[in-house]
Amino acid sequence: MSERYDPSEIEPRWQALWERERTWEVTNEPEGDKYYVLEMLPYPSGEPHMGHLKVYSIGDAVAHYRRRTGHHVLHPMGYDAFGLPAENHAINTGEHPRISTDRSIAAFQTAFRRWGISIDWSREFGTHEPRYYRWTQWIFLKLFEHGLAYRKEAAVNWCPNDATVLANEQVIDGRCERCGTPVEVRQLEQWFFRITDYADRLLEDLETIEWPAHVKTMQRNWIGRSEGAEVVFRCEQPGIDYPVFTTRPDTLFGATFFVMAPEHPDVFRLAAGTEHEEEVHRYVNHALNESADVRSDTDRRKTGVPLGRTVVNPVNGEAIPMFVSDYVLMEYGTGALMAVPAHDERDYDFAQAFGLEIRRVIDRGGENDDLPHTGDGVLVNSGEFDGLPSEAAKREIVRWLETRGAGHASVNYRLRDWLLSRQRYWGCPIPIVYCDECGIQPVPESELPVVLPDVKDYAPQGRSPLAAAEAWVNTTCPSCGGAALRETDTMDTFVDSSWYFVRYCDALNDEAAWDPEAVRWWMPVDQYIGGIEHAILHLLYARFFMKALTDLGHLEVNEPFARLFTLGMITRDGAKMSKSRGNVISPMPIVDRYGADTARSYSLFIGPPDQDADWSDDGVEGVYRFLRRLWQIGADVAAEDSGFADVPAAPEGADLELLRKAHWAIAKVTNDMEDRFAFNTAIAAVMELVNSCYDARRAGADPGALRFAIGTAASLIFPFAPHCAADVYDRLFGDRVWEEPWPEADPAFLARDTFQLVCQVNGKVRDRLEADSGASQEELAALCRQAPNVRAHVDGREVVKEVVVPGKLVNLVVR
């Protein structure tokens, strides 16, 4: 044994060949079957970590597998380069975000090459390049033209630490998802995308895509569609109609009071002149200053103040008292609600606190009739609707309201419009100017891109740092030519990543965002791979962008990601790796020590790729040993047998067993790759095959059979360990494994003429025998009865039943 497995020599050699020959580049010529495999683009901050190694190892395995099953594979790469971390770094160090971002991008480029990821580098870009964000701005203008991007003043979430507004999706439990600071509510004029127009389609089209069920559920919950009715309550003095939304029109007769949000614009007007006027002012001012996490605390006792007015319940003409309370949200429904304390927990709590009437109108007809009862039942105390079950009553009462003009069926959503303005520097400029004469004016397309100017001070002071770039801010109105000011907010970085996968189809195009033909050919992404943390934000926004751009005639992409795979985290000692915990394992030292093939294979062998898995140094050693064993036996057999021996025509004994194992492995790995994504068991199957190769070699197996079996192992492991596999295959056959079609299992080798018959008595295994595959059920049963250890348990007892499972077992039931 002269040579030894040396990944530091093997890996650069094959990488250089693939780079030189541009092996992984693809054209846009429609030809054969296409397959677009995409991992979520990295956010370039510092060095790549284990999560990156894992996600790109998965994506590369899929890309390689699809290429070798005859697909034309697009597998591109880019960088989500705008964002807060680079800007915060700039605030601390004064270094321009572009410099630190580009340095990080260089680290990713180096990593991807050293990992041997098969990327079409001709399509690479960063979202911070004007050549890219020019088209992000163009998309903004298209949405603006059609009213899908608009500006309005609203109560928005403000993070005092990051000094910027946040989208609803970026607020977790009342805190900034990035820095954890409690968010405040501010009344500001901001840019929004009208994603709520697409709520129903975003919901319905989930049916058409193959995504993990829990991701679909999260999106459904986020959109939060509720069906119900809008019901009008009239306030006699001052004579205003107040519509409310309810999902339970069947409980309308149980409404005993009426509550408005503190933000409701009519609250002060209603209270004016009543004895409660002062109290209402105090309460509202207090409520508006409360932080989001205090106000949304459900355990808190309900508070509120009477408005001193009443509204009339349209179904029974009753005048019920009005209140203002902070448990009512201005953003949902109409900012006012009818309270049915008998059948709603929140209303019940409020009624208890204020001694208000609780009137049962739904009877559950069972033993437990505690209030509040929030489920369905049969109507009582509801006039002509008494006796109807809830479902029927909802329909009947809505119909009754419609005929009297006092209400109608209605749908409400939890989803809000996407707030995209950010008062930060390192982002895509919004291509808008403000003119005193002409108002809001879009920058003409011919003037794109609006290039992000350099500034001296990146620190936000409640306004965008861009406001300080006076030469840039002061411009002329595209409409009247007069003096005008540029928009100084930048876009949320989720805008940049909502269309990058379309740009990959035609990344070098400077005439348009994309060529429709190229997009028609490649889209949708056949397999998208990324972290579960994007289940709502990115994946919902990208879907919205595709639908909107399709409606505007620029695309024909209803859903961008036909299939989605979400991967689990690699943890260390059961915890997420983080600098503060000091438990970070960086992929690069692993690659240095064992090679990229080992690092990649281990990241997949560690466990099911969609689950979290804990890093083990010893586990890496095991995968390294396996690849070394494969390479060693390959190199040894290739060196011993220079004659390129063929597979024996009529194999028997150890040769036959080995060939069977090889074909078994082909079938197993193919099945695991195809749609199960069971990479851990695929790798285990190749390990078994390699172990069998060693056994067979020791048993003096035929060189041709060995060559076939080892070559098969190399071919099957190629998607995970491409360098090692390419080297072994080259030594054995002098061929390029990536140009070989994916192997096919020969059924002749999968079938066996005998099998191990399991003999059970009363369900317990008592013996095992070699049986003929073609044996009849009677023959198998007879065989089982003769087994020595079966007889020991059956003799002297009565066999009451025989269960025969052909090819598997016989179970004798005795008494």
Partner RNA sequence: GCCCGGGUGGCGGAACUGGAAGACGCAGUCGGUUUAAGCCCGACGACCCGCGAGGGUGUGUGGGUUCGAGUCCCACCCCGGGCACCA
Of residues 346-365, those binding RNA (CB under 7 A): 346, 349
Residue 614 makes contact with RNA by CB under 7 A: yes
Footprint (CB under 7 A) of RNA, residues 163-182: 172
219-to-126, 213, 719 alpha-carbon distances in Å: 28, 10, 32
Shorter beta-carbon distance to RNA: residue 112 or 626: 626
**DSSP helix/strand/coil, 715:** helix
Min dist. Cβ of residue 219 to RNA (A): 9
Cβ partners under 8 Å of residue 801, min gap 6: 812, 813
What is the Cα–Cα distance from 169 to 178, expressed in whole angstroms? 11
Total binding residues toward RNA, as defined by CB under 7 A:
91
Shorter beta-carbon distance to RNA: residue 72 or 668: 668
Q: Are 305 and 279 in contact (CB under 8 A)?
A: yes
Min dist. Cβ of residue 623 to RNA (A): 6
Residue 329 makes contact with RNA by CB under 7 A: yes
Q: What are phi and psi of 379, to 5 degrees?
A: -75, 140
Residue 286 makes contact with RNA by CB under 7 A: no
The amino acid at 610:
D
The amino acid at 155:
A
Shorter beta-carbon distance to RNA: residue 184 or 515: 184
The single residue among 76, 97, 333, 704 that binds RNA, judged by CB under 7 A, is: 333
Min dist. Cβ of residue 804 to RNA (A): 9
Listed residue (719, 628, 637) closest to 674, CA to CA: 719
Residue 594 makes contact with RNA by CB under 7 A: no
Tokens of 794: 């059956």
Residue 296 makes contact with RNA by CB under 7 A: yes
Listed residue (257, 342, 352) closest to 306, CA to CA: 257
Listed residue (189, 60, 115, 208) closest to 546, CA to CA: 208
The single residue among 106, 512, 575, 792 that binds RNA, judged by CB under 7 A, is: 792
Shorter beta-carbon distance to RNA: residue 65 or 348: 348
Min dist. Cβ of residue 751 to RNA (A): 15
The single residue among 586, 762, 785, 806 that binds RNA, judged by CB under 7 A, is: 762
Question: Long-range contact list for 670-675, CB < 8 A, 24+ apart?
Answer: 670/742, 670/745, 673/61, 673/62, 673/65, 673/719
The single residue among 335, 431, 634, 703 that binds RNA, judged by CB under 7 A, is: 335
Residue 803 makes contact with RNA by CB under 7 A: yes
**DSSP helix/strand/coil, 185:** strand
Residue 113 makes contact with RNA by CB under 7 A: no
Residue 189 makes contact with RNA by CB under 7 A: no
The single residue among 516, 607, 648, 806 that binds RNA, judged by CB under 7 A, is: 607
Residue 801 makes contact with RNA by CB under 7 A: yes
Residue 265 makes contact with RNA by CB under 7 A: no
Which single residue is written with the structure tokens 């208000």?
356
Q: What are phi and psi of 749, to 5 degrees?
A: -90, -15
Which of the ranges 313-321, 587-595, 689-697, 737-745 carries the binding residues for RNA, by CB under 7 A?
689-697
Angle at the Cα of 91 (from 90 to 93), degrees rounded to 5? Answer: 60
What is the Cα–Cα distance from 376 to 378, expressed in whole angstroms? 7
Footprint (CB under 7 A) of RNA, residues 222-251: 222, 224, 226, 228, 244-248
Shorter beta-carbon distance to RNA: residue 389 or 619: 619
The single residue among 119, 261, 557, 669 that binds RNA, judged by CB under 7 A, is: 261
Min dist. Cβ of residue 24 to RNA (A): 29
What is the Cα–Cα distance from 61 to 36, expressed in whole angstroms? 13
Min dist. Cβ of residue 416 to RNA (A): 8
- Spacing of C-alpha 376 from chain mean position: 35
Listed residue (533, 614, 621) closest to 577, CA to CA: 614
Residue 272 makes contact with RNA by CB under 7 A: no
Min dist. Cβ of residue 261 to RNA (A): 6
Shorter beta-carbon distance to RNA: residue 214 or 399: 214
Footprint (CB under 7 A) of RNA, residues 436-495: none
Min dist. Cβ of residue 744 to RNA (A): 17
Footprint (CB under 7 A) of RNA, residues 410-439: 412, 414
Min dist. Cβ of residue 683 to RNA (A): 7
Footprint (CB under 7 A) of RNA, residues 548-587: none
Min dist. Cβ of residue 493 to RNA (A): 19
Min dist. Cβ of residue 103 to RNA (A): 31
Angle at the Cα of 155 (from 151 to 158), degrees rounded to 5? Answer: 100
What is the Cα–Cα distance from 668 to 666, expressed in whole angstroms? 6
Residue 760 makes contact with RNA by CB under 7 A: yes
Shorter beta-carbon distance to RNA: residue 75 or 660: 660
Q: Given strand 799-805, what is the order of strands in its sheet?
A: 764-772, 754-761, 809-814, 799-805
Shorter beta-carbon distance to RNA: residue 328 or 658: 328
Give the CA count within 13 Å in the CB-facing half-sphere of 741.
5
Shorter beta-carbon distance to RNA: residue 469 or 683: 683
Largest CA distance in the chain: 109
Torsion sign over Cα 207, 213, 216, 217: positive
